């Protein structure tokens, strides 16, 4: 049995996510891959409709900070199909704020998926070439911050994926919520598994697992870059969290009896596939499998890759001693539509493969 979670203290927060999100069993898929240790899914794809996914949990703390600084404009960045940019743009409109998105890549001729919703939200959008985007990103932010300052507006910058010291609180809170559900459902998870892209969800869960006393391993399934990159990014984000919120952080660490230096990210990078947002056919098959066996919609950029990786590990028996494995469904449904042509039934005269 798990003890109730330690009582954590938090900085300013806005209630934006529809939470608690359900924690549900995945018994048919578990049977399908021959795993009988207990497989569960934390439905963070249900944190909202157009605001759904993991980013809204981080935005609860980021936007509270922006408001405390009297910001008028939210500036953030990402790929053209960024879920984070879509959530930020629609949230800004919901709160009567302005939003400016810095998107990596060319403006698509046809607006689909997330970028369609970005356009509907009325956000200003600047497209920048992929080459050099990361290197020039700081100067793009500075340019637009100065631009708004000249108009007497205060702009608040949110980094890629909302992953920074402030954003980490989102999944510390998410882990506290999960802990409560495990207590009431009688689960003692050994592993939490999540897709990892900018590291903030992985870092928040890693910290949250230690701070709440849940004490399970957090496995980040990389969807880009490599394990070394994520292990370093998670360490940096946790260090920034500690530096920025020292009294709160110290208090939480002390109650849990853990020290930041004990915490180490665990990342698997063998399911990245060809590139960020490019997936192999077996990922698309896993997306179909999850939809048909469990009624879940995964996406080819994040959750499909990560869940495919988890199923491969379960099939291979490398998690045979694991118990009550919890996969975090981080959302991403709008990323399915722009990649519709990749599904096998689209190359099969309309016949669905069974
Ligand atoms: C952003 C995103 C992730 C990755 O989360 P990070 O905190 O950026 O690592 C996973 N899944 C979906 C659907 C996302 O949009």
pLDDT in tens, 262-288: 999 999 999 999 999 999 999 999 999
343 lines ligand 1 (CB under 6 A): no
For range 150-168, the mean pLDDT: 98
pLDDT of residue 345: 87
Over residues 195-223, the pLDDT tens digits come to 999 999 999 999 999 999 999 999 999 99
Q: Whose CA is nearest to atom 12 of ligand 1?
A: 330
Q: What percent of the chain has pLDDT over 70?
A: 98
162 lines ligand 1 (CB under 6 A): no
189 lines ligand 1 (CB under 6 A): no
Is position 88 within any domain? yes
Is position 351 within any domain? no
| In the predicted structure, residue 353 carries a pLDDT above the cut 60 | no
Centre of ligand 1 to C-alpha 330, Å, is 6
The candidate with the shortest Cα–Cα distance to 155, out of 164, 146, 163, is 146
Rounded to whole angstroms, the Cα distance separating 24 from 104 reads 35
Residues 178 and 230 placed together within one structural domain of the fold: yes
Is position 183 within any domain? yes
- Domain range enclosing 99: 55-162
Is position 331 within any domain? yes
Q: Using pLDDT thresholds of 50, 70 and 90, give the confidence band for residue 27.
A: very high
Longest Cα–Cα distance of the chain, Å, equals 62
Residues 191 and 314 placed together within one structural domain of the fold: yes
Residues 181 and 244 placed together within one structural domain of the fold: yes
Task: At 161, list the tokens.
Answer: 């994926």
| In the predicted structure, residue 148 carries a pLDDT above the cut 70 | yes
Q: Using pLDDT thresholds of 50, 70 and 90, give the confidence band for residue 348.
A: low
Over residues 43-89, the pLDDT tens digits come to 999 999 999 999 999 999 999 999 999 999 999 999 999 999 999 99
Residues 218 and 341 placed together within one structural domain of the fold: yes
pLDDT of residue 346: 82
As for how many domains the chain has, the answer is 2
Which of 162, 190, 213 marks a domain boundary? 162
| In the predicted structure, residue 354 carries a pLDDT above the cut 60 | no
Residues 211 and 292 placed together within one structural domain of the fold: yes
Q: Using pLDDT thresholds of 50, 70 and 90, give the confidence band for residue 332.
A: very high
| In the predicted structure, residue 338 carries a pLDDT above the cut 80 | yes
100 lines ligand 1 (CB under 6 A): no
Rounded to whole angstroms, the Cα distance separating 286 from 302 reads 12
Bridging pattern class, strands 325-329 and 217-222:
unpaired
For range 161-174, the mean pLDDT: 98
Residues 131 and 28 placed together within one structural domain of the fold: no
Choose the residue to mutate in 197, 225, 271, 272 for probing ligand 1, maximizing ligand atoms within 8 Å of C-beta: 197
| In the predicted structure, residue 349 carries a pLDDT above the cut 60 | no
| Residue 163 bears catalytic tag | no
Rounded to whole angstroms, the Cα distance separating 240 from 227 reads 20
327 lines ligand 1 (CB under 6 A): no
For range 20-41, the mean pLDDT: 98
Is position 93 within any domain? yes
Q: Which of 52, 82, 121, 209 does the annotation list as catalytic? A: 82
User: What does the mean pLDDT of the chain come to?
Assistant: 97
Is position 16 within any domain? no
Domain at 206, CATH number:
3.40.50.1100
Centre of ligand 1 to C-alpha 161, Å, is 7
Ligand 1 atom closest to the Cα of residue 335 is: 13
Which of 162, 190, 218 marks a domain boundary? 162
Residues 170 and 60 placed together within one structural domain of the fold: no
pLDDT of residue 118: 98
Choose the residue to mutate in 330, 332, 335 for probing ligand 1, maximizing ligand atoms within 8 Å of C-beta: 330
Residues 323 and 221 placed together within one structural domain of the fold: yes
Ligand 1 atom closest to the Cα of residue 161 is: 8
pLDDT of residue 352: 54
Residues 174 and 32 placed together within one structural domain of the fold: yes
Over residues 240-257, the pLDDT tens digits come to 999 999 999 999 999 999
Residues 36 and 171 placed together within one structural domain of the fold: yes
Q: pTM of the prediction?
A: 0.97
Centre of ligand 1 to C-alpha 163, Å, is 10
Is position 5 within any domain? no
Residues 42 and 142 placed together within one structural domain of the fold: no
Centre of ligand 1 to C-alpha 149, Å, is 31
Residue 83 has a CB neighbour count (10 Å cut-off) of 29
pLDDT of residue 1: 84
pLDDT of residue 149: 98
Is position 17 within any domain? no
300 lines ligand 1 (CB under 6 A): no
197 lines ligand 1 (CB under 6 A): yes
Choose the residue to mutate in 161, 168, 202, 220 for probing ligand 1, maximizing ligand atoms within 8 Å of C-beta: 161
Centre of ligand 1 to C-alpha 86, Å, is 12
Which of 118, 139, 162 marks a domain boundary? 162
Residues 249 and 268 placed together within one structural domain of the fold: yes
Over residues 102-122, the pLDDT tens digits come to 999 999 999 999 999 999 999
């Amino acid at each position: 049995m798990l003890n109730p979670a330690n009582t954590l203290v938090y900085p300013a927060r806005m209630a934006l996510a529809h939470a608690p999100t359900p924690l549900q069993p995945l018994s048919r898929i578990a049977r399908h891959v021959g795993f009988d240790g207990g497989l569960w899914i934390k439905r963070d794809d249900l944190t909202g409709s157009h605001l759904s996914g993991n980013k809204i949990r981080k935005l609860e703390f980021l936007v509270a900070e922006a408001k405390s600084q009297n910001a008028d404009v939210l500036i953030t960045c990402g790929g053209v199909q960024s879920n984070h940019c879509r959530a930020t743009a629609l949230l800004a409109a919901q709160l009567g704020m302005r939003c400016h998105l810095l998107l990596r890549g060319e403006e698509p001729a046809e607006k689909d998926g997330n970028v369609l919703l970005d356009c509907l939200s009325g956000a200003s959008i600047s497209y920048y070439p992929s080459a050099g985007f990361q290197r020039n990103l700081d100067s793009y932010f500075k340019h637009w911050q100065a631009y708004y300052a000249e108009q007497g507006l205060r702009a608040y910058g949110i980094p890629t994926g909302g992953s920074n010291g402030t954003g980490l609180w989102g999944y510390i809170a998410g882990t506290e919520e999960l802990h409560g559900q495990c207590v009431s459902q009688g689960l003692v998870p050994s592993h939490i598994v999540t897709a990892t892209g900018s590291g903030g969800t992985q870092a928040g869960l890693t910290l949250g697992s230690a701070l709440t006393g849940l004490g399970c391993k957090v496995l980040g399934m990389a969807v880009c870059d490599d394990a070394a990159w994520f292990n370093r990014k998670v360490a940096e984000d946790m260090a920034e969290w500690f530096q920025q919120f020292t009294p709160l952080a110290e208090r939480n660490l002390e109650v849990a009896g853990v020290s930041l230096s004990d915490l180490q990210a665990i990342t698997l990078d063998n399911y990245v596939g060809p590139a960020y947002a490019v997936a192999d056919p077996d990922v698309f098959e896993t997306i179909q499998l999850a939809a048909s066996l469990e009624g879940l919609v995964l996406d080819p950029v994040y959750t499909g890759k990560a869940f495919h990786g988890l199923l491969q590990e379960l099939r291979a028996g490398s998690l045979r001693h694991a118990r009550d494995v919890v996969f975090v469904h981080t959302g991403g449904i709008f990323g399915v539509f722009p990649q519709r042509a990749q599904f096998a039934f689209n190359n099969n005269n309309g016949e669905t493969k069974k």
